[in-house]
Amino acid sequence: MSRRDLAHVRSALWDLSRGQADVVVAGADIDEAIGRGRDDMRTPLNLQSLADEGLVVAYAGGGWALTPQGVAWIVQDRELSDR
């Protein structure tokens, strides 16, 4: 996934988890939040690069959650970009 796409995914995870770490969000909910439909033929979401950075963690069944480090990263990013 491109860095731009990953930024959209991080924002979706933030919104869907209400900015809380360890709240599991279904992959289908992330897809919907970033504008992917059920029959979307694009490459499936692969958040492994975010997991490698320690920002998210994968759960069985295709769910993902922000880690405490991921929450802190987003908070800092939003403060720096004045959002």
Q: State yes or no: pLDDT of 9 exceeds 60.
A: yes
Please give the domain boundaries of the chain with CATH numbers for all domains. 3-80 (1.10.10.10)
Residue 61: DSSP 8-state: T
pTM: 0.82
Q: How far apart are CA 26 and CA 59, in angstroms?
A: 9
Matching residue, tokens 């958040």: 47
Phi, then psi, of 79 in degrees rounded to 5: -65, -40
Q: How far apart are CA 69 and CA 48, in angstroms?
A: 15
Q: Please give the residue that has the higher pLDDT: either 24 or 40.
A: 24
